[in-house]
């Protein structure tokens, strides 16, 4: 993985956010927060980011181009419309050193605009998407955790860059008696396990988040009917309310049940001094330092035991360690290095392609006539023979 030297000049960076989530987001969402934080920090480093996002959000630190409003839920056609509008604007301006995309629908358009492209993968492994990424070897792919690289082995990742947050927006919290769970109420996020662990430890628990539309029956059965005897639901929480909830909690419970490639709420908690007790799944073991910023556990009983032990972790030390590891300034510096490497690779490829074009074989007229005589289309018609990757592999009549 490459993190080269910091660029010595100001880079013109096009940041393409997902249209289904506004950026900066009203609620927690990894890709939208990454774009928002990255734009601000790149500006602080002296670079010139332009964010291609949605019309209802504005950045104080970067210019914006806004082709479409967010719809709140992933919509593949909306993603394509957003990508095509963004790439058209990028091509029209012709003023960017690098394009940084955050959704897979944007990748095919990179072949038509001559500019280096970087892509961050924010989701867990998906077979068809992994094949889609592998079909774009010229794109510099970035993973958000080492665990993501291990599981998505088909993707040609060039770097691992953990997301970061503005550390100054996370003051030290005083903690409290209760535990906290923050996230969407789905089985793979494990809110029911957090409730079980809190009951076993005999400590109160405050749940912050919303039920997922696809899991309303689960929510009613496992969550809503069981919010009693010290377990309460704070319903929807915005970013300010979420930080307040975390700051006033003794620990964050993160009983993740799937291979989540990161989990921003963990670093939000640690940045306000709140330790995290997480299941050993996904990137949690990379994020939580056992005994320093929290504990890694394997089941509800062990989680309940660690809830009682969490007072042994010093909140100030937890926050100091989180500030050293999870700042957005660190993230922006690492991305700037990846941008420079992508630009260097692109320039080298262009030089190689230029040399090959100059040495290309030009058939004689006799050879061309012989070739044309056996084709299925007239010789004056250009035929684009597309490979499975969708790249034209020939511009001459087929045999």
Distance separating alpha carbons of residues 256 and 10, to the nearest angstrom: 40
pLDDT digits (tens, 9 = 90+) for 278-333: 999 999 999 999 999 999 999 999 999 999 999 999 999 999 999 999 999 999 99
pLDDT band per the 50, 70, 90 thresholds, residue 44 = very high
pLDDT of residue 106 exceeding 90: yes
Q: What is the mean pLDDT of the chain?
A: 83
pLDDT of amino acid 210: 86
pLDDT of residue 381 exceeding 50: no
Distance separating alpha carbons of residues 91 and 88, to the nearest angstrom: 5
Average the pLDDT over each of 6-15, 49-58, 137-146 and give the range with the smallest value. Answer: 49-58
Percent of the chain whose predicted confidence (pLDDT) is above 70:
78
- 8, 91 in Cβ contact below 8 A? no
pLDDT band per the 50, 70, 90 thresholds, residue 220 = very high
Tell which CATH architecture fits domain 12-166+328-349. Answer: 3-Layer(aba) Sandwich (3.40)
pLDDT of amino acid 349: 82
Check for a shared fold between 12-166+328-349 and 168-325: yes
pLDDT of residue 225 exceeding 70: yes
pLDDT of residue 366 exceeding 50: no
pLDDT of amino acid 37: 92
User: What's the rounded mean pLDDT across residues 223-248?
Assistant: 90
pLDDT of amino acid 305: 96
**Which among 40, 43, 21 is positioned nearest to 32, based on CA atoms?**
21
pLDDT of residue 374 exceeding 60: no
Strand, coil or helix: 111: helix
Place of tokens 């993603």: 79
pLDDT of residue 183 exceeding 60: yes
pLDDT band per the 50, 70, 90 thresholds, residue 62 = low
- 286, 145 in Cβ contact below 8 A? yes
pLDDT digits (tens, 9 = 90+) for 112-129: 999 999 999 998 888 888
pLDDT of amino acid 379: 47
pLDDT of residue 190 exceeding 60: yes
pLDDT of amino acid 386: 35
Average the pLDDT over each of 29-33, 44-48, 330-334 and give the range with the smallest value. Answer: 29-33
Domain ranges of the chain: 12-166+328-349, 168-325, 365-399
Percent of the chain whose predicted confidence (pLDDT) is above 90:
62
The tally of CA atoms less than 13 A away on the side-chain side of residue 106 is: 27
Average the pLDDT over each of 6-15, 140-149, 239-248, 368-377 and give the range with the smallest value. Answer: 368-377
Instruction: Tell the CATH topology of 168-325.
Output: Rossmann fold (3.40.50)
Residue-by-residue DSSP string for 185-240: B-GGG-HHHHHHHHHHHT--EEEES-B-GGGHHHIIIIIGGG--TTEEE--S--HH
Distance separating alpha carbons of residues 295 and 306, to the nearest angstrom: 7
Distance separating alpha carbons of residues 370 and 379, to the nearest angstrom: 11
């Amino acid at each position: 993985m490459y993190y080269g030297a910091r660029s010595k000049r100001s880079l013109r960076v096009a940041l393409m956010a997902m249209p289904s989530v506004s950026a900066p987001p009203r609620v927690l969402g990894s890709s939208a927060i990454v774009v928002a934080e990255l734009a601000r920090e790149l500006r602080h480093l002296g670079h010139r980011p332009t964010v291609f996002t949605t019309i209802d959000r504005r950045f104080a630190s970067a210019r914006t181009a806004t082709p479409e409003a967010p719809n709140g839920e992933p919509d593949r056609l909306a993603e394509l419309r957003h990508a095509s509008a963004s790439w058209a604007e990028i091509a029209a301006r012709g003023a960017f050193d690098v394009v940084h995309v955050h959704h897979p629908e944007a990748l095919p358009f990179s072949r038509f605009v001559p500019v280096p492209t970087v892509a961050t993968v924010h989701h867990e492994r998906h077979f068809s998407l992994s094949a889609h990424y592998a079909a774009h070897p010229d794109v510099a792919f970035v993973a958000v955790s080492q665990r993501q690289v291990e599981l998505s082995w088909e993707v040609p990742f060039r770097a691992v860059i953990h997301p970061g947050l503005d550390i100054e927006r996370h003051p030290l919290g005083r903690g409290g008696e209760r535990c906290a769970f923050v996230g969407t109420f789905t089985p793979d996020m494990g809110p029911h396990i957090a409730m079980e662990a809190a009951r076993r430890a005999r400590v109160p628990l405050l749940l912050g988040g919303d039920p997922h539309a696809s899991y309303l029956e689960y929510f009613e059965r496992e969550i809503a009917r069981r919010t009693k005897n010290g377990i309460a639901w704070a319903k929807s929480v915005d970013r300010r309310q979420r930080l307040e909830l975390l700051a006033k909690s003794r620990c964050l419970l993160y009983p993740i049940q799937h291979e989540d490639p990161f989990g921003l709420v963990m670093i939000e908690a640690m940045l306000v001094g709140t330790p995290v007790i997480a299941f050993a799944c996904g990137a949690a073991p990379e994020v939580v330092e056992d005994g320093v910023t929290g504990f890694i556990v394997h089941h509800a009983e062990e989680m309940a035991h660690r809830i009682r032990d969490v007072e042994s972790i010093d909140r100030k030390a937890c926050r100091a360690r989180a500030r050293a590891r999870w700042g957005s300034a660190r993230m922006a510096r690492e991305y700037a290095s990846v941008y420079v490497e992508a630009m260097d690779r692109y320039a080298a490829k262009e030089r190689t392609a230029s040399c090959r074009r100059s040495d290309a074989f030009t058939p004689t007229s006799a050879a061309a006539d012989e070739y044309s005589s056996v084709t299925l289309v007239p010789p004056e018609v250009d035929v684009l023979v597309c490979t499975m990757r969708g790249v034209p592999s020939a511009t001459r009549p087929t045999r």
